[in-house]
Amino acid sequence: MKNIFVIFKREYLTRVKNKTFIIMTFLAPLLMVGFYAATIYIATETGDDDRTKTVYVSDNNPELLLSHNPPANYVLLPAPSDSDSALAHVERGLVHAWLNVEDRDLRSVDSATYYTSETPSITEKETLKEWIRNKATQRQFARLGLREGQIDSLQSSCNLATKEVTGQGDVKESSSGLKSGIGFALAFMIYIFIFVYGSMVMRSAMEEKTNRIVEVIVSSVKPFDLMMGKILGVAAVGLTQFVAWIVLAVGLVFGISALFLNSGNGTTTREAVQTGIEARNGMGGMDTGSGTSSGAAVSMGGDMSAQGSGMTSGARDMAAEFTEPLSNLPYFQILAVFLLFFIGGYLLYSSFFAAIGSAVNQESDVQQFMMPVTLPLVFGFVIAQTVALKAPHGAMAKLFSMIPLTSPIVMVVRAPFGVPLSELALSFGLLVLTFVLMVWLSGRIYRIGILSYGKKPTWKDLWKWLR
């Protein structure tokens, strides 16, 4: 036990005292914020095709299409009467395209053709389609004798509020978007942490083997203790970084709110923070709610809090929707599930990584063994993004939150939606059992692997070492 601690101490201190680690701990969040900010900026500001496009429209009734406002960045011109010269103009680049609407009375627009010299993007195609459809719809309404104002009033809207009935007879505000956002962000964090710190364990085992340090060490430490000390030491490094980020994030939020306070715009610190939080969660909720559940979008929401006070009033309204649900979240359960499954998942996967690191003689031999280890992890993440977010209480989500190789990721996505304690206990129990079994098996590979030099190991060798 003492030796596990000596190994743990070395693994932890050499990493934490490393300048790169210290710099990256402070720089990584800034880099991440910068990265997402750049992505958002590019996507919103520069992602669109902002060229002005001159398009011929075959429209024999100028009232119908040409008289209406064209879509943004489009200049519409009546097309020449013969199709050959229209096509020739497109070909010579005199105009960007020729939009030929077959049904020129716009009674039932079921076909229109867009001739261009370059393949239009999906956005361009959708913009035009939507524009024609709108015009046709308006035309149909007009035929029925409805004015534009009446048309708008006919468009119904529905705001479906969700409330959660809790066991204590309470009814609480709930927000699916918010929960999805939080669950997904946590799952993403576990996914990244397992990869980053798992590889760290692997490289550490490889370093000891290739630098021939290991034989001296195993003459005083059991290989299993060496492996455990290493896995736990690196886990502590991960947790340290995690805590540092939380402290940093809280510091940033308070720092920024203090700035607002000093600038004298009348907003109190508390309000500024509140706005930041609301806006942040509003963003996260919006993104996941609309089905574009990409990690970037969710994290973006979280990282935008600094810009909270600069949000539009629309976003502010939406943010307000999350105020109560935010305070109703089962924080303790979410945090407990996150920590337990993060530790369980990390321990399970890092034991695989350790076994691989001990078996190979050089970095280039790693690839052949990595696939079966990373596949379930990636698969779990895909399940988390799709099934678990769409139907957190569905059969598939339940199944994969029980299988120990995917449960660390899938369960945290489900956690904010409320998972019965019995399910949590069963899933965690299975994870711990598998972890114990796998650490034991990996320890057997490790024990022989670290002292085996020479030829590149094969799966057959690993199997032999296991027995």
Instruction: Write out the residues near another protein by the rule CB under 8 A.
Output: 2-3, 6-7, 9-10, 13-14, 18, 207, 211-213, 215-222, 451, 453
Q: How far is the CB of 14 from another protein (least distance, A)?
A: 6
Q: How far is CA 381 from the centre of its chain?
A: 10
Q: How far is the CB of 192 from another protein (least distance, A)?
A: 24
- The residue among 234 and 377 lying less far from another protein, judged by its C-beta, is 234
Q: How far is the CB of 213 from another protein (least distance, A)?
A: 5
Q: How far is the CB of 401 from another protein (least distance, A)?
A: 40
Long-range contacts formed by 207-213: CB under 8 A, 24+ apart: 208/450, 209/357, 209/358, 209/360, 209/361, 209/449, 209/450, 209/453, 210/361, 210/362
Q: How far is the CB of 448 from another protein (least distance, A)?
A: 10
Q: Give CA–CA dist 28/20, Å, rounded.
A: 11
37 and 261 Cβ atoms separated by less than 8 Å: no
341 and 412 Cβ atoms separated by less than 8 Å: yes
Q: How far is the CB of 207 from another protein (least distance, A)?
A: 8
- The residue among 73 and 220 lying less far from another protein, judged by its C-beta, is 220
3-state secondary structure of 268: coil
Beta bridge partners of 115: 98
- The residue among 17 and 92 lying less far from another protein, judged by its C-beta, is 17
235 and 346 Cβ atoms separated by less than 8 Å: yes
Residue of 329, 346, 276 lying closest to 304 (CA atoms): 276
Residue 348 CB neighbours (<10 A): 26
The tally of CA atoms less than 13 A away on the side-chain side of residue 110 is 1
- The residue among 89 and 230 lying less far from another protein, judged by its C-beta, is 230
Q: Give CA–CA dist 406/416, Å, rounded.
A: 17
- The residue among 248 and 448 lying less far from another protein, judged by its C-beta, is 448
- The residue among 98 and 197 lying less far from another protein, judged by its C-beta, is 197
DSSP letter for each residue of 148-214 = HHHHHHH--------EEE-TTS-EEE--HHHHHHHHHHHHHHHHHHHHHHHHHHHHHHHHHHHTT-H
Amino acid at 384: A
223 and 450 Cβ atoms separated by less than 8 Å: yes
Beta strands in 28-165 (DSSP E): 53-58, 74-78, 97-101, 112-116, 163-165
Q: How far is the CB of 467 from another protein (least distance, A)?
A: 12
Q: How far is the CB of 31 from another protein (least distance, A)?
A: 23
Residue 326, Ramachandran bin (φ over 0: left; ψ between -120 and 50: alpha; else beta): alpha
Q: How far is the CB of 7 from another protein (least distance, A)?
A: 8
Q: How far is the CB of 368 from another protein (least distance, A)?
A: 23
Residue 199 CB neighbours (<10 A): 17
Q: Give CA–CA dist 244/242, Å, rounded.
A: 5
- The residue among 22 and 437 lying less far from another protein, judged by its C-beta, is 22
- The residue among 10 and 68 lying less far from another protein, judged by its C-beta, is 10
Q: Give CA–CA dist 230/220, Å, rounded.
A: 15
Q: How far is the CB of 211 from another protein (least distance, A)?
A: 4
Q: Give CA–CA dist 277/12, Å, rounded.
A: 34
8 and 236 Cβ atoms separated by less than 8 Å: yes
- The residue among 96 and 209 lying less far from another protein, judged by its C-beta, is 209
- The residue among 2 and 92 lying less far from another protein, judged by its C-beta, is 2
Q: How far is the CB of 317 from another protein (least distance, A)?
A: 54
The tally of CA atoms less than 13 A away on the side-chain side of residue 75 is 8
3-state secondary structure of 79: coil
- The residue among 101 and 445 lying less far from another protein, judged by its C-beta, is 445
- The residue among 225 and 287 lying less far from another protein, judged by its C-beta, is 225
Beta bridge partners of 113: 100
